[in-house]
Amino acid sequence: MTDRDCRANRGALRARLIAAREAVDQSAFEKNSAAIEGHVRRLLAIKAPRLLGFYWPHRRECNLVTVAADFVARGGTAALPVVTGKDQALEFRRWWPGMTMAVGVYGIPYPASGEPVFPDLMLVPMVGFDHAGYRLGYGGGFYDRTLAVASPRPSAIGIAFELGRLDTIGPLPHDIPMDAIITEAGVNS
């Protein structure tokens, strides 16, 4: 299979998984999201990161903004990613509840200003994932590029719903597996 074929297959798979996620009824979505949130809170209590990178929810991803706000309220530091350009690694900026936000790529909010910081633990959104820990995202490659250049490399925790579980995403050489994956079913490492 050529690289072009692989990208086309991933595009179709991505569209199918996003449609499935968006079609989940509200009750099941809330139940599954609450389970993921509980698993994330327990993981953060164990890992105790210095700086937590998280994501602003998009297209019915699990919303962990309250988890990050609680982390900040307990004295932690949280940061959100900023897309600085195509084919670039993400920049993270410190975030706290009520701060001024701007709207970026895909219409996703990010801190409007601030110096770059780098998390030691990142919660990474996933459209799909496989048993080897590889993630299927939105296709921009931002998280893979970010993890590839990070030194030291942060712990990368993928966040997804079980409906995104696949036999394989067909990883490419640039794909970087997650250190652990959290779904409503629990933590897989």
pLDDT per position as a tens digit, 1-39:
566 666 678 889 999 999 999 999 999 999 999 999 999
The predicted pLDDT at position 1 comes to: 55
What's the average model confidence in pLDDT over 81-100? 95
> 188: Cβ–Cβ under 8 A, 6 or more apart, which residues?
133, 180, 181, 182
What's the average model confidence in pLDDT over 122-150? 95
Total tally of structural domains belonging to the chain: 1
Reply yes or no on whether the pLDDT at 167 is more than 90: yes
Q: Which CATH number belongs to the domain containing residue 110 in this structure? A: 3.40.50.10420
The answer to whether 180 and 189 are in contact (CB under 8 A) is: yes
> 26: Cβ–Cβ under 8 A, 6 or more apart, which residues?
none
Confidence of residue 183 (pLDDT cuts 50, 70, 90): very high
Reply yes or no on whether the pLDDT at 106 is more than 90: no
What type of residue is 176? I
Q: Which of 158, 159, 175 is nearest to 60 (CA)?
A: 159
Structure tokens at 111: 């801190």
* Domain boundaries, position 48: 3-188
* SS3 state of residue 92: strand
Confidence of residue 66 (pLDDT cuts 50, 70, 90): very high
* Beta partners for residue 159, in sequence order: 125, 182
Pairing of strands 121-125, 128-130: unpaired
